[in-house]
């Protein structure tokens, strides 16, 4: 296959404008009975579109698919109808269990929870069927038991080109000069994190290496350990943060360790007032006891002397500022 002689280039979201069935159908119709070369570079998308394109390739009969970059999910399904599948030496390949968006918000009673649980069980049963169907398609291509492919889909880890060849997903590895190894960018990592996909251990794009999020990704990928394709995963769940989540978390930590200016001013004023009162109390001369002639009427409250008034003022001030 010539290095750049592709009749169809399928990139981006499977089911989007640059990876749709109508483009495939039109090109295959123009080349009926002829060999058609297809380039795929996609992280996946609509399973329905992937299955439809796979069937179109199979019906045409003379389709060669070549993978470059990072390819996963429905993009790999789309290739299965091709007569020959190759992959660039620096490209990567991922198969995983099917998933769907789910969101429920509200206040539910017991009966409503029963309904929700029944709905969730139905969704799970549908996803199990989709997983089995995909595993059977992979197994037919790889010539391996369906159970082995279901286990690999459950692991969901990235495969190198060599590992993809060993499994049987592809028929050939190429190393062409005009097909550089894929690079990880901030936007690509964020998109993968939002989709719940693992971030592969590949070099970070040079233009994003010096950004804060780029440095974060470099630290993560430097300790990334790819799982053995034949091994079952542990129960450890890895949480991947987007750039926005990372910045928000960092800001919360900063705010938690900082007092507001008003709080600092209140504490400073309280400490100064208490210090002034303590200084005045320490400087006040001791009053010796003396005989006082009782000439007031019974029950009449005597006015407090200076020392008593000062002590009352000090105690009131301390009680007030201790409440701050």
Residues 309 and 273 both lie in one domain: yes
Q: Which residues pair with 40 in a beta bridge?
A: 10, 67
Its pTM stands at 0.58
Domain that holds residue 320: 259-285+303-324
Residue 201 lies in a domain: yes
Q: Show the tokens assigned to 190.
A: 């964020």
Residue 271 lies in a domain: yes
pLDDT tens digit sequence for 237-277: 445 556 666 667 666 666 655 656 666 777 788 788 888 87
Residues 235 and 263 both lie in one domain: no
Distance CA 170, CA 298 (A): 110
Sign of CA dihedral 206, 212, 218, 224: negative
Residue 66 lies in a domain: no
Helical H segments across 92-225, by residue range: 110-142, 146-155, 161-167, 186-194, 212-222
- Of the candidates 321, 48, 80, 90, which has an alpha carbon nearest to the alpha carbon of residue 200? 90
Packing angle of the helix pair 47-60, 21-30 (nearest 10 deg): 10
Residue 200 lies in a domain: yes
Residues 263 and 323 both lie in one domain: yes
Residue 274 lies in a domain: yes
Q: Provide the domain count of the chain.
A: 2
Residue 310 lies in a domain: yes
pLDDT tens digit sequence for 271-308: 888 888 777 777 766 555 454 444 555 555 667 776 67
Q: Mean pLDDT lowest for which of 41-45, 171-175, 277-281?
A: 277-281
The per-residue pLDDT for 76 is 97
Residue 277 lies in a domain: yes
């Amino acid at each position: 296959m010539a290095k750049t002689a592709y009749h169809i280039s399928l990139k981006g979201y499977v089911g989007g404008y640059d990876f749709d069935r109508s483009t495939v159908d039109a090109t295959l119709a123009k080349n009926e009975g002829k060999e058609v070369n297809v380039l795929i570079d996609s992280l996946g998308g609509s399973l329905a579109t992937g299955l439809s394109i796979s069937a179109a390739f199979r019906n045409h009969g003379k389709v060669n698919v070549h993978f470059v970059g990072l390819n996963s999910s429905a993009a790999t399904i789309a290739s299965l109808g091709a007569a020959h599948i190759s992959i660039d030496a620096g490209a990567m390949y991922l198969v995983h269990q099917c998933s769907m968006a789910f969101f429920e918000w509200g206040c539910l009673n017991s009966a409503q929870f029963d309904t929700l649980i029944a709905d969730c069980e139905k969704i799970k049963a549908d996803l199990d069927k989709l997983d089995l169907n995909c595993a059977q398609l992979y197994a037919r291509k790889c010539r391996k038991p369906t159970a082995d492919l279901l286990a690999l889909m459950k692991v969901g880890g990235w495969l190198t080109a060599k590992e993809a060849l060993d499994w049987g997903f592809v028929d050939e590895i190429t190393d062409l000069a005009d097909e550089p190894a894929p690079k990880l960018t901030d936007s690509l990592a964020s998109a993968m994190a939002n989709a719940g996909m693992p971030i592969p251990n590949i070099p970070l794009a040079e233009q994003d290496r010096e950004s804060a999020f780029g440095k974060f990704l470099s630290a993560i990928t430097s300790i990334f350990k790819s799982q053995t394709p034949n091994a079952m995963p542990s129960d450890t769940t890895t949480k991947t943060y987007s750039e926005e989540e990372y910045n928000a978390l960092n800001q919360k930590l900063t705010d938690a360790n900082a007092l507001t200016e008003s709080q600092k001013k209140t504490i400073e004023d309280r400490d100064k007032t208490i210090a002034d009162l303590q200084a005045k109390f320490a400087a006040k001369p001791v009053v010796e006891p003396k005989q006082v002639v009782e000439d007031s009427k019974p029950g009449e409250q005597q006015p407090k002397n200076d020392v008593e008034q000062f002590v009352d003022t000090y105690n009131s001030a301390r009680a007030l500022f201790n409440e701050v």
